[in-house]
Amino acid sequence: MVASTPKIQIAQRAGGITIAQRRPTVTGVLGGLGLEEALLRIPLLLPICGHAQGIAAQRAASAARNQTDPHAIEHTRQLWREQAVAAAWRLAVDWPGCVGRKRALPLFKAVQQADGPETLATQLLQFLPGLISVESMADLSAWLIDSDSTAANVVRRARELESELGFAGAPSLLAGEALKALAQTALAEADFDPLTPAGAGIDVGPLAMRRHPLVERLAACSDYGALTRRLVAQLLDTLVIAGHLLDGQSTYPVSAWNLGPGIGMGRAITARGPVFHRVELDGDGKVAAWRVLAPTDWHFAPGGPLATEAQRLAPNDDQLSLLVLGFDPCSPWSVASEEAAHA
């Protein structure tokens, strides 16, 4: 069984935007299945960031049984590789059109087909020439001014947008234990809906994760607006991904929790932020409920950060597309004016 293709449609309307998500809650079909059979179906039901989805699912299942994940090291390697491919897609396919450049498909294919972690890291860093040498906010500012890379040009366009629209706000960020606690609460709600999660106005992506040393300072830097901070954080996080591929010794903090008899929650990291799975087993050890909460659920929720910032900025379609890239949705998406939306 393969899930129907998800899609996010964003339309400009008078007074703001509307976000229509075609992202069915596919895990409902797992009810009544044995745990091992359910785990085999997860990659088919949730193919986007499939390794992370499968790993979060395995961790939740192990926690529900009050066991530890026996494949933690192997899973960590899979996560970094998947994050590298996602970052390359972002830089090769999603970003170039914003500044009138062609998609860098050969570079993306080189990342996708890399046969080892060192080769993968080397190919990934080709998107960001010179950025690996940046050690301070001054260095970062100079790189953004001087580099002719597509990435630097997109960030410069974002700064122009924020200057044009007079916006330099700070995003609402949540990560670590605070996000884990909120996810645990949201996933346990009787009327849980992943498209309207609790705390919908928060940002859980690379800016919130703060995996690069400079992102902590970037998050508090009033010289950059919220959009620019998100985009730059994505670039710095790409360096982190490449670095972990090279050192091969990366570990993640605790990412599975037993929440009571037969109930477990697992987390895995994607290039967009953490994804959470919650598994509840019945008395026979079969799946009673399976729920998932991904970064796109937080970012594109009604009243979420994209909707809030777009309403404040009232951008045109091209500008709105740039705002969307700041949240890097995991589903195909489109932007249209009110007239086009009704055509």
Mean pLDDT of 148-167: 89
H/E element holding 17?
strand 16-22
- Which amino acid makes up residue 311? Q
Q: What is the CA 169 to chain-centroid distance, rounded? A: 21
- If you average pLDDT over every residue of the chain, what do you get? 87
**Residue-level pLDDT at 1:** 41
pLDDT band of 5, cuts 50, 70, 90: low
For residue 180, give the nearest of 275, 290, 262, 261 by alpha carbon. Answer: 275
pLDDT in tens, 306-335: 888 877 766 677 788 888 899 988 878 888
Give, to the nearest 10 degrees, the angle between helix 72-89 and helix 226-247.
130
For residue 263, give the nearest of 282, 279, 277, 285 by alpha carbon. Answer: 279
| Strand boundaries in 231-300, DSSP class E | 256-260, 263-270, 273-281, 287-293
pLDDT band of 14, cuts 50, 70, 90: low
Q: Quick count: other Cβ atoms within 10 Å of Cβ 81?
A: 18
Statement: residue 106 has pLDDT above 90: yes
**Residue-level pLDDT at 169:** 65
Mean pLDDT of 244-273: 86
Q: Can you tell me the distance from the alpha carbon of 51 to that of 67, in angstroms, rounded to the nearest whole number?
A: 20
Mean pLDDT of 143-158: 96
pLDDT band of 126, cuts 50, 70, 90: very high
Mean pLDDT of 60-68: 91
**Residue-level pLDDT at 88:** 97
For residue 197, give the nearest of 16, 23, 335, 18 by alpha carbon. Answer: 23
HSE, side-chain direction, 13 A CA sphere, residue 11: 12
Q: Can you tell me the distance from the alpha carbon of 178 to that of 200, in angstroms, rounded to the nearest whole number?
A: 14
pLDDT band of 24, cuts 50, 70, 90: low
Q: Can you tell me the distance from the alpha carbon of 268 to that of 253, in angstroms, rounded to the nearest whole number?
A: 10
Mean pLDDT of 96-106: 95
Statement: residue 94 has pLDDT above 90: yes
Top CATH class of 7-342 equals mainly alpha
Pairing of β 287-293 and β 333-336:
unpaired
Statement: residue 2 has pLDDT above 50: no
Exposure of 95 by Cβ count < 10 A (0-12 exposed, 13-18 middle, 19+ buried)? buried
What CA–CA distances, in Å, run from 100 to 6, 25, 94, 326? 27, 36, 12, 18
Statement: residue 254 has pLDDT above 90: no
Residue ranges covered by each domain of the chain: 7-342
Q: What is the pTM of this model?
A: 0.91
C-alpha distance across the termini of the chain, in Å: 33
